[in-house]
Structure 1
Amino acid sequence: MSFGEPEGYDGAARPRPLGRRGRSQAAAAAVCLVLGLGLISGAVTGSWLVGDSGDEGSRSTFTAAGGLWHSVPVDQLFPPTVQGQGAGPGGADRTWTRIAVAPDSGCEDAFDPLLRKALAPVGCERLLRATYTDATESYVTTVGLLFTTADAPGMASLANRFRKERLDRRSDLMPLPYAAKGTAAAEFGARQRAAWTVSVLTEAPVVVYAVSGWADGRTVDDPQPAEDATESGATTAPAQAGLGHEAKGLADRVERGLRKNVRSATEQPS
């Protein structure tokens, strides 16, 4: 009959130092602690990207985002030139040049009645708009940043409604363009809208949208949401012309710039 070896002794019954195992366990625990802290830190940093507004950092980020309309220069929100690597059909690069910036304003008469009604629950603090043209001056696109008066739950509620009811796909909820006299967008009116996108952010009190059309003022009988116009095999006129990519690509780049400005506004000095 044999019994288990007593803790702290080796095969020859010589005492084995107990501290060695303790030190190994302590070292392993320290490594786990460092890794755990790194994961937590990464999660906090990434909360702006995933819309987690449950902690103090996210709440301060949400608040900072709501104030960008008066604290950030227009050239940072709507750069004079926007590069869109891979933003065009087939992954082609795009370059957009700003041709007009609308005076910052409220939302009265800035949207068609149905879209204004859909956005009403989140309120309107300020509306910023700019219109761009592509490198060939064949297309024009208005991009807008609607800064709302809503809190995080209010933005989440509106985003859920847009997603569930597919409001961003309804042609009677298209944003209006900003047509500036003396520019390539002078004839860019409601009947010239060809493709559009609307994105309700949940991590900031902002609605980002864009609407595109031809620069020659031609009317469009069958506008198409950018998500549909950028799908492979889409055959509508806006899709074939790449106008879905114009709206979607420019809105995406402006939204990225907005996020970058929020991160800069919330960075703490080391």
Structure 2
Amino acid sequence: MAPGAGRPVVSFGEPEGYDEQARPRPLGMRLRPRIAVAAACVVLGVGLIGGAVTGSWLIGEPGDGGARDTFAAAGSLWHGVPVDRLFPPKVIGKGAGPGGADRTWTRIAVAPDTGCTGAFDPLLRKALAPVGCQRLLRATYTDATQSYVTTVGMLFTDADATAMRSLDSRVSKEGLDRRTDLMPRPYAAKGTLAAGFGNEQRASWTISVLTDAPVVVYAVSGWADHRTVDEPQPAEEAMESGATSAVGQAGLGHEAQGLADRVERALRKNVGPSTEQSS
């Protein structure tokens, strides 16, 4: 049930590198990614298979110069792109809900960009340590009914492509993205629907290690009435057809996965039109 009617209160932290209107402050020369080599092929990641966005900006041989340029460009987006382009005020999720229903999410809070101290549970912090932490960006959204809250985050790492591929492989092989002791922490903003969204309220989550950018994208969802959750489920399980858990039936897996997918798409688009070519 929705905790209340009306539009949610929006609370904006002032991210370092942005002014009070969430516009980037001058930080020297703006990022201008170089044009990828002619043989490179951009894939925009618009395919949605099993709720997960797949694809790569550039498909080329290992060591391709254009791919390296794009990888580096993506790692600098946190201080060169307005917050509204990384975390749009409203996100439309066509077919992102249970049964292919459309979803709409409204941003209710943006956290100041920070390092990673205190941002992750100890075991998740240890798992992510090999790729380092350059910057962490987070925002919290609510759905159209104000029944759910979801924090989505982007961890910009210090890693190169090889280290990102290694982490992605480990996460996949060891199932690190499915362990309840490795859930991301939510961003609970005072004065918003997410004020009581703490660790005990985490219901479903997803973690995606990008291999064509030094970024880890994650999302964690819960109920907006601040109820505690005894048995959280990873989004992949909660989204399974016929899921009987409270988390699955509420669609909280779809909330986490749907928002993470679309924030990842926004990240890819922000690399810049100069790198985008038709494949």
Question: Partner of 1:262: helix, strand, or coil?
Answer: coil
Instruction: List alignment gaps of at least 5 residues for structure 1.
Output: 1-39
Name which of 218, 238, 245 aligns with 1:209.
218
Per the TM alignment, residue 263 of structure 1 is displaced from its structure 2 partner at its CA by 3.8
Name which of 250, 254, 276 aligns with 1:245.
254
TM superposition score normalised by structure 2: 0.79
Are 2:68 and 1:59 aligned?
yes
* Kept after mapping to 1: 8 A contact 2:41/2:58: no
Q: Which whole-Å deviations, capped at 9, do the CAs of 1:62-109 have from their partners, x for residues lacking one?
A: 000000000000000000000001000000000000000000000000
Question: 1:106 maps to what in 2?
Answer: 115
Per the TM alignment, residue 247 of structure 1 is displaced from its structure 2 partner at its CA by 0.1
Q: Which whole-Å deviations, capped at 9, do the CAs of 1:127-152 have from their partners, x for residues lacking one?
A: 00000000010000000000000000
Percent of residue pairs bearing the same amino acid type: 76
Q: Which whole-Å deviations, capped at 9, do the CAs of 1:16-57 have from their partners, x for residues lacking one?
A: xxxxxxxxxxxxxxxxxxxxxxxx957533452568653001
Q: Give 1:116's aligned amino acid.
A: R
Question: 2:42 maps to what in 1?
Answer: 45
**Structure 1: distance between partners of 2:62 and 2:140:** 32
Question: 1:198 maps to what in 2?
Answer: 207
**Structure 2: distance between partners of 1:125 and 1:232:** 38
Q: Closer, same or farther in 2 for the Cα pair 1:101/1:52, shift >3 Å? A: farther
Per the TM alignment, residue 267 of structure 1 is displaced from its structure 2 partner at its CA by 5.5
Q: Give 1:64's aligned amino acid.
A: A
* Kept after mapping to 2: 8 A contact 1:208/1:251: yes
Q: Give 1:202's aligned amino acid.
A: T
TM superposition score normalised by structure 1: 0.82
Structure label with greater radius of gyration: 1
Name which of 118, 121, 128 aligns with 2:130.
121
Instruction: List alignment gaps of at least 5 residues for structure 2.
Output: 1-36, 44-55
* Kept after mapping to 1: 8 A contact 2:156/2:214: yes
Question: Partner of 1:141: helix, strand, or coil?
Answer: strand
- Say what the alpha-carbon RMSD is for the aligned residues: 1.7
4+ long deviations beyond 4 Å: 40-43, 49-53
- Greater relative CO (CA pairs within 8 A, separation 6+): 2
The structure carrying a bigger helix percent of its residues is 1
